[in-house]
Structure 1
Amino acid sequence: MIRVLVFLVFLAFVALGAAWLADHPGEVVLTWQDYRISTPLSVAVAALVAVVTALIIAWSVVRFIFKLPDLVTIASRARRRARGFAAVSRGMVAVGSGDPVAARRHAGDAERLLGREPLTLLLKAQAAQISGDRAAAEAAFNDMLEEPETRVLGLRGLFVEARRKGDLVAARAHATKAVELAPSVGWANEAVLEFQSAERNWRGALKTLERRAALRLIDRAEARRQRAVLLTADAMDRAETEPEAALAAVREAVKLAPDLVPAAVLAGRLLARAGKYRKAAKILEAAWVRLPHPDIAAAYVEMRSGDSARDRLARAETLARLAPDAAESRLMLAKAALDAREFARAREALAPLIAERPTLRTCVLMADIEEAEHGETGAVRAWLARASRAPRDPAWLADGVISDTWSPVSPVTGRLDAFVWGTPSEQIAHQHRETQDGHQSDEVLGDGDERPVAEALPEIAPPVKDEPAAKPAAARGEIIETRAEPAPAAAAEPAEEPRIPAAPAPAPTPAPAAPAPTSAPAAEAAAAPARAEPAPAPSRPAEKAPLPPPAIPVPQYVMEAAKGRGQRGEPAGGDESASRHPRPASPVIFPISRPPDDPGPVSAEDEGAPVRRIVT
Structure 2
Amino acid sequence: MRFLLWLILFIALFVGAGLWLTQHDAYISLTWGDYIIQTKRSVFLTLCAVLFVLFWTCASSIHWFVGLPGRIKRYFKRKRELDSWKHLALGLSSLAGGNIPNATKHAKYAKRSANSDTQPHVALLQMQIAAKTNQFKELKNLSNAALINPQTEAHTLKLLFDAAEYERDTMKALTLLETAYTKYPDQAWVLLPLLTFYHQQKNWVKAKIVLHSLKKQKLISSALCDRYHAIYAIEEARFLIRQGNYKAALHLAKHAYKLAKDFIPTIETLALTMSKCGDNKDALHLIRKHWVKTPHPVLGELYRRIALLPSHLSLSMLAESLWKANPNHPESAAVYAQLMVENKQYAKAKEKLVEAIRISQKRKLFEGLAKVESQLGSSADTINALLRQALQAPGEPSWICHDCSHVMPEWNASCEHCHHFDTLAWDRVKIASLVGNPRIYEDFKAINLDQ
Aligned to 1:518: none
Q: Report if aligned partners of 1:107, 1:127 keep a CA contact under 8 Å in 2.
A: no
The alpha carbon displacement at 1:266 in A equals: 1.6
The alpha carbon displacement at 1:317 in A equals: 1.8
Aligned to 1:106: 106
Q: How does 1:505-544 map to 2 (within 5 A)?
A: none
The alpha carbon displacement at 1:52 in A equals: 5.8
Aligned to 2:326: 320
For the residue of structure 1 that corresponds to 2:307, the secondary structure is coil
The alpha carbon displacement at 1:132 in A equals: 1.3
Amino acid in structure 2 at the alignment position of 1:554: S
The alpha carbon displacement at 1:343 in A equals: 4.7
Instruction: Identify which of 384, 391, 397 aligns with 1:384.
Output: 391
Aligned-partner Cα distance in 1 for 2:369–2:181: 61
Equivalent pairs counted in the alignment come to 410
The alpha carbon displacement at 1:102 in A equals: 2.8
TM-score (norm 2): 0.70
1:254 aligns to 2:265 (yes or no) = no
For the residue of structure 1 that corresponds to 2:113, the secondary structure is helix
The alpha carbon displacement at 1:71 in A equals: 1.8
Aligned-partner Cα distance in 2 for 1:28–1:343: 143
Aligned-partner Cα distance in 2 for 1:309–1:183: 56
Aligned to 2:299: 296
User: In structure 2, do the counterparts of structure 1 residues 414 and 85 end up closer, same or farther at CA, with 3 Å as the change threshold?
Assistant: farther
Aligned to 2:228: 226
The alpha carbon displacement at 1:276 in A equals: 0.8
For the residue of structure 2 that corresponds to 1:421, the secondary structure is strand
The alpha carbon displacement at 1:81 in A equals: 1.6
Query: Higher mean Cα deviation, 214-223 or 297-306?
Result: 214-223
Could you say which structure has the greater relative contact order, defined with CA pairs below 8 angstroms and 6 or more residues apart?
1
Amino acid in structure 2 at the alignment position of 1:97: G
Q: Deviations over 1:328-387 (max 9, x none)?
A: xx23123235544645544544656x5xxxxxxx5423543674664223x754663452
1:163 aligns to 2:142 (yes or no) = no
Q: Deviations over 1:248-303 (max 9, x none)?
A: 33233323443443232122012123331232234435555675533223323433
User: In structure 2, do the counterparts of structure 1 residues 94 and 367 end up closer, same or farther at CA, with 3 Å as the change threshold?
Assistant: farther
Amino acid in structure 2 at the alignment position of 1:91: G
Question: Relative to total residues, which structure has the larger helix share, 1 or 2?
Answer: 2
The alpha carbon displacement at 1:54 in A equals: 6.0
Q: Report if aligned partners of 1:312, 1:336 keep a CA contact under 8 Å in 2.
A: no
Q: Report if aligned partners of 1:398, 1:410 keep a CA contact under 8 Å in 2.
A: no
The alpha carbon displacement at 1:234 in A equals: 2.1
Aligned to 1:241: 243
Aligned-partner Cα distance in 1 for 2:37–2:358: 136
User: In structure 2, do the counterparts of structure 1 residues 86 and 308 end up closer, same or farther at CA, with 3 Å as the change threshold?
Assistant: farther
Q: Report if aligned partners of 2:230, 2:259 keep a CA contact under 8 Å in 1.
A: yes
Aligned to 1:130: 132
Aligned to 2:208: 209
1:407 aligns to 2:405 (yes or no) = no
Q: Report if aligned partners of 2:237, 2:253 keep a CA contact under 8 Å in 1.
A: yes
Amino acid in structure 1 at the alignment position of 2:411: W
Q: Report if aligned partners of 2:406, 2:415 keep a CA contact under 8 Å in 1.
A: no
Q: Deviations over 1:94-124 (max 9, x none)?
A: 3333333233333323222225622222211
Which of these two proteins has the greater Rg computed from alpha carbons?
1
Aligned-partner Cα distance in 2 for 1:188–1:555: 46
Aligned to 1:27: 25
TM-score (norm 1): 0.54
Q: Report if aligned partners of 1:302, 1:312 keep a CA contact under 8 Å in 2.
A: no
Structure 2: gaps (5+ residues):
341-345, 374-381
User: In structure 2, do the counterparts of structure 1 residues 309 and 61 end up closer, same or farther at CA, with 3 Å as the change threshold?
Assistant: same
Aligned to 1:365: 364
User: In structure 2, do the counterparts of structure 1 residues 135 and 239 end up closer, same or farther at CA, with 3 Å as the change threshold?
Assistant: same
Aligned-partner Cα distance in 2 for 1:413–1:57: 83
Aligned-partner Cα distance in 1 for 2:129–2:405: 34
User: In structure 2, do the counterparts of structure 1 residues 422 and 295 end up closer, same or farther at CA, with 3 Å as the change threshold?
Assistant: closer
Aligned-partner Cα distance in 2 for 1:115–1:411: 51
Aligned to 1:92: 92
Aligned-partner Cα distance in 1 for 2:289–2:71: 80
Amino acid in structure 1 at the alignment position of 2:109: D
Amino acid in structure 2 at the alignment position of 1:27: D
Q: Report if aligned partners of 1:334, 1:347 keep a CA contact under 8 Å in 2.
A: no
Q: Report if aligned partners of 1:243, 1:270 keep a CA contact under 8 Å in 2.
A: no
Q: Deviations over 1:459-513 (max 9, x none)?
A: xxxxxxxxxxxxxxxxxxxxxxxxxxxxxxxxxxxxxxxxxxxxxxxxxxxxxxx
Amino acid in structure 2 at the alignment position of 1:268: A
Aligned-partner Cα distance in 2 for 1:283–1:104: 66
For the residue of structure 2 that corresponds to 1:93, the secondary structure is helix
Aligned to 1:578: none
Aligned to 2:379: none
For the residue of structure 1 that corresponds to 2:425, the secondary structure is strand
Q: How does 1:215-614 map to 2 (within 5 A)?
A: 216=216, 221=222, 224-244=226-246, 245-285=248-288, 293-305=296-308, 310-311=316-317, 313-320=319-326, 330-339=329-338, 340=340, 342-343=349-350, 345-346=352-353, 348-349=355-356, 354=360, 363-365=362-364, 367-368=366-367, 371=370, 374-377=382-385, 381=388, 384-385=391-392, 387=394, 393=397, 395-404=399-408, 405-411=410-416, 414=419, 416=421, 418-419=422-423, 421=425, 447=430, 552=431, 554=433, 558-561=437-440
Amino acid in structure 2 at the alignment position of 1:384: L
Aligned-partner Cα distance in 2 for 1:24–1:555: 126
Aligned-partner Cα distance in 1 for 2:53–2:125: 53
The alpha carbon displacement at 1:315 in A equals: 3.6
User: In structure 2, do the counterparts of structure 1 residues 34 and 295 end up closer, same or farther at CA, with 3 Å as the change threshold?
Assistant: same
Amino acid in structure 2 at the alignment position of 1:38: K
Aligned-partner Cα distance in 1 for 2:242–2:64: 87
The alpha carbon displacement at 1:238 in A equals: 3.0
